[in-house]
Copies of this chain bind each other. A is one copy, B any other.
């Protein structure tokens, strides 16, 4: 029941882009360095984010990534699901909202448990916007040199 490094690193990467793409797009290598993540691994994570329409890339020298939408329009849930797949605690079509393919679907009590967990996770992350994390970060850095790199997205 743990998030993998995909979700953890990937969210840090998105936050890094949010905090540092005011002027230019940010390159993979700068994110990787700032966040202490291997550049080649990060590449895979960003690919997922791009596919999900969360970030937009520009190729070539001076290229890099920016967010596709405003931070207030990107939920943490959206980001985590792009990286980790669905956040449901079990793989079950019925819980994911689809048709019940489960052969024991009508005699399945634990299903109520998984549904309850799934709903609580999803509502928690869907209601949390990237902008809130950006504000939190700014609050933590009040009084610091604003030109400095903000390496504050650990964990």
Interface residues of A in 81-133 (CB under 8 A from B): 84, 87-92, 102, 104, 106-114, 116-117, 119-121, 123-125, 128, 133
Q: In whole Å, how far is A106's beta carbon from the nearest beta carbon of chain B?
A: 7
Q: Which of B110, B117, B119, B155 contacts A155 (CB 8 A)?
A: B110
Q: Which of B2, B12, B133 contacts A89 (CB 8 A)?
A: B2
Whether B116 pairs with A128 at a CB distance below 8 angstroms is yes
A154 on interface, CB distance cutoff 8 Å:
yes
The verdict on A3 contacting B110 (CB below 8 Å), with A104-B154, A116-B128, A120-B120 known, is no
Whether A92 pairs with B155 at a CB distance below 8 angstroms is yes
Whether B89 pairs with A154 at a CB distance below 8 angstroms is no
Q: Which of B1, B12, B91, B108 contacts A152 (CB 8 A)?
A: B108
* Distance of A153 Cα from B107 Cα, bound (Å): 7
Interface size class of A (residues with CB under 8 A): 35 or more
The verdict on A155 contacting B1 (CB below 8 Å), with A15-B109, A109-B136, A109-B137 known, is no
Residues of A within 8 A of B (CB): 1-4, 7-8, 11-12, 15, 76, 84, 87-92, 102, 104, 106-114, 116-117, 119-121, 123-125, 128, 133, 136-137, 140, 151-155
